[in-house]
Amino acid sequence: MSSYMTHTWSSVVSFYQKAAPNGVRVARMAELVARVAASPYAAALHPVTSHYMLRLFAHDTWDTSDDQIQVEHDGEAFEVRYVASGRPHNPQQAPVHSDWHRRDVDGYAALERCLDHLRWVPSVSAPASSAGG
């Protein structure tokens, strides 16, 4: 199987911001992507764009059979889906075999629920500091 590098958050933010004038779906995705990129989750999530779908992986390389979180906006709400490969994300965890799906007007909240379900990243209870850059 071929392996590919994920994108940087800055390149993904730029992609969505440039496409945002194309409609409400993409504008909402641009807002969400900028929020995730600035969040404490960004370090643990590795993005790839697939047209206007955001795909998130646990590692900076991926192939088509890897676990992934898919995020899209359908014009009314966000669709957040986890697509499991059957392989564990973390060797200390059992594989997650079920798919996970939520539809919500708040894409960030839906993504947080997905991440909590998967335990890909520790829970974030406080806002990220503005230090660093």
Q: Under 8 Å CB-to-CB from 29, ≥6 apart: which residues?
A: 16, 20, 52, 54, 71, 72, 73, 107
Place of tokens 């730029």: 14
pLDDT at site 118: 86
pLDDT at site 87: 58
Which residues of the chain, if any, have pLDDT below 50? 126-133
pLDDT at site 52: 87
pLDDT at site 103: 96
pLDDT at site 84: 86
Give the DSSP H or E segment for 29.
helix 24-37
pLDDT at site 85: 74
Q: Residue by residue, what is the 3-state secondary structure of 52-116?
A: CEEEEECCCEECCCCCEEEEEECCCCEEEEEECCCCCCCCCCCCCCCCEEEEECCHHHHHHHHHH
pLDDT at site 121: 80
pLDDT at site 63: 87
Backbone φ, ψ for residue 8 (5° rounding) = -85, 155
In this structure, which amino acid lies at residue 130?
A: S
Backbone φ, ψ for residue 70 (5° rounding) = -115, 135
Can you give the residue ranges of every domain in the chain?
4-118
